[in-house]
Structure 1
Amino acid sequence: MQRTAVNPWDWSQKLGYNQAEIIEGATRQLICAGQTAVDGKGLPQHPGDMRAQISLALDNLEAVLAGADMTLRNVIRLGIYVTDVDEALKHFEVLGVRFGPFQAAPPMTLLGVDRLAIPGLLFEIEATAAM
Structure 2
Amino acid sequence: MERRIINPWEWQNERSYVQAVEVVKPEATLYISGQTAIDAAGISSTGDMRSQITDSISNLEKVIDEAGYACKNIVRLNIYTTSSDEFFASFDIFQDWVKKHGIKQTSTVLEVKSLFETLKVELEVTVVR
Q: Structure 2-normalised TM-score?
A: 0.94
Q: 1:72 corresponds to which residue?
A: 71
- Which structure shows the bigger proportion of residues in strand conformation? 2
Cα deviation digits, residues 47-102 of structure 1 (max 9, x gap):
25101100100000000001111121121101110000011011112122112122
Q: CA separation in 2, counterparts of 1:86 and 1:10?
A: 24
Matches within 5 A, 1:20-99: 20-45=20-45, 47-99=46-98
- Stretches of structure 1 that go unaligned for 5 or more consecutive residues are none
Aligned pair count reads 129
- Residue 109 of structure 2 aligns to a residue whose secondary structure is strand
Q: CA separation in 2, counterparts of 1:124 and 1:50?
A: 11
Percent identity reads 34
User: Partner letter of residue 129 of structure 1?
Assistant: V
- Residue 93 of structure 1 aligns to a residue whose secondary structure is helix
- Stretches of structure 2 that go unaligned for 5 or more consecutive residues are none
How far the C-alpha of 1:2 sits from its partner, in A, is 2.6
Structure 1's consecutive aligned runs of 4 or more residues displaced over 2 angstroms after TM superposition are none
